[in-house]
Structure 1
């Protein structure tokens, strides 16, 4: 194989990988099957099941054409020299060509078969038939799923560039390029059975925890499938699912950087003096759930670590806002105002009051003690 053929083959394989598993750049530019053929596929919001029937069929057809397209371009560019080379190479090359052509011919026939009788032969339709309780078969189930998908409280989580997780009021759905998995929450058990931690950056020790959730339906004919999600998204899924999610005893959820910072922040605040007041808002201004329990009250000295006075514009100032924040929300606000590459020294930095913008440091954050007015 010549150098030019090697380069062509390498870039064609790279292109195929981008088609099979689109990188972020391709998705941003809209270079995906779903975006390029949006007019043909329609939208999930209008016809959820029909959209995925078309999408899986089109994806299968496009992917099946890639080998034949390689041989076609290779023939036009390099005159198909392997067909006339040594016998073993020529036979292997011709067999590969024939299989690629066979894939292009068979796949449309399969898709046509799926489309017959209003797509009733499609694997998605056959799976939904197992959930049907009426004479209309999968059509009634498809309508119910479509109605639930259009509601505002649906969870639509992109797991990766080719896989999505959808949780509606009654359904758990996992979409992949060729297959869509369904589970009805009423007869489904969910179990967290595996956890993996991956280091994102060695220099910062940042890591990501991926958990594996087994979704198993007790309905006959419905197979088990797996969901791999970021541990940080677990709470969102848990809040949407009506069924309890069982967590294996050996699975430990890692805290995020922010969660760990909140714990340290609260521990430091507990060491500061208590601020006594009778002016407290009814609920935290940020989360609107917790009761405000901290007050910004200047207590630090205007000196640096060497005991030297710091410039006037770098000093903390008194905050005259009444207590309106819970410690968790203020900790999140404090962290959000810091440099993400200097996590080790966040507690030494300053922040500003979310309302009056008065600068403060950790020593100025006090738990409050209510007094009778």
Structure 2
């Protein structure tokens, strides 16, 4: 139905802008319809064409608005949810402080609430229930911010695929750091294909390198009463023991030279 209305209105607009001979014969042109208002062209040529140009410009400019009104009145609306009902379901979630709001750029953002996932752009708002969609990482690219490659930033393209046919899928692009802030709020984990490798955060990379170097050290045997709390979290028992392996201080010579510092031979 909407396609038929669009084709009909396009044909109608073309006939209004460039009226065929049938429209001219039927008197369905702008100059003929507003003949009484325009007056006589021969008696007042300038004023006549000033009026004609003004009316023609107004009618041509109103054709897009007329199409929207025609489509609104005669088109198929389908089983749409009232905006007030949708707003009543979303607004309480938006007002909660535990929502996650992540800017995509200066004009777009992604909002994740307890039940909803929302993408806001200058000309559109995509809303989907988290239980009715799945998130899939489609691409990832990494950029080095320093010549040494120590500072890296990764951007991930994520596509939101609704399980309902009446909800349009959408996608967004955000940094890996922002994506890790979004993931705890998601009710379903995001799928990452094997071809895409996400860079772990800096703290995880530090822990991995730290564990690799710790594994090279010899085993240390201890008593249960000797283990202290982890200095990082102060909640769990530490699984790493730091042992002072410095050589004992050597006494200085008899001429009064200062003794050797105790930790200078440490490797």
> What interval of TM-score do these two structures reach, taking the shorter chain for normalisation?
0.5 to 0.7
Gaps of 5+ in 2: 1-57, 250-257
**What do the CA deviations read for 1:16-72 (whole angstroms, capped 9, x no partner)?**
xxxxxxxxxxxxxxxxxxxxxxxxxxxxxxxxxxxxxxxxxxxxxxxxxxxxxxxxx
Change (3 A) 1:155 1:279: farther
Q: Which runs of 4+ in 1 moved over 6 A?
A: none
The structure that is helix-richer by fraction is 1
Contact 1:214 1:226 in 2 (8 A): yes
Q: Which residue of 1 aligns with 2:222?
A: 276
1:154 corresponds to 2:96: no
1:224 corresponds to 2:169: yes
How high is the TM-score relative to the length of structure 2? 0.57
Figure out how many residues of one structure are paired with residues of the other and give that number: 186
Contact 2:139 2:196 in 1 (8 A): yes
Gaps of 5+ in 1: 1-101, 114-120, 304-308, 317-360, 364-373
Contact 2:246 2:263 in 1 (8 A): no
Change (3 A) 1:275 1:169: same
Q: Which residue of 2 aligns with 1:175?
A: 120
TM superposition shift of 1:256: 3.7
TM superposition shift of 1:269: 1.9
TM superposition shift of 1:242: 0.6
Larger Rg: 2
1:211 corresponds to 2:156: yes
Summarize the alignment of residues 95-114 of structure 1 with structure 2, pairs less than 5 Å apart: none
**What do the CA deviations read for 1:168-194 (whole angstroms, capped 9, x no partner)?**
111011112222211111211211111
- Aligned counterpart for 2:244 among listed residues 298, 303, 319: 298
RMSD across aligned positions (CA):
3.9
Contact 1:275 1:295 in 2 (8 A): no
Q: Which residue of 1 aligns with 2:42?
A: none
Whole-angstrom distance in 1 between the partners of 2:231 and 2:186: 28
TM superposition shift of 1:235: 3.1
Whole-angstrom distance in 1 between the partners of 2:193 and 2:206: 27
Whole-angstrom distance in 2 between the partners of 1:287 and 1:179: 44
1:195 corresponds to 2:195: no
Summarize the alignment of residues 41-190 of structure 1 with structure 2, pairs less than 5 Å apart: 130=80, 132=81, 137-190=82-135
- Aligned counterpart for 2:210 among listed residues 259, 265, 271: 265
TM superposition shift of 1:196: 0.9
TM superposition shift of 1:167: 0.6
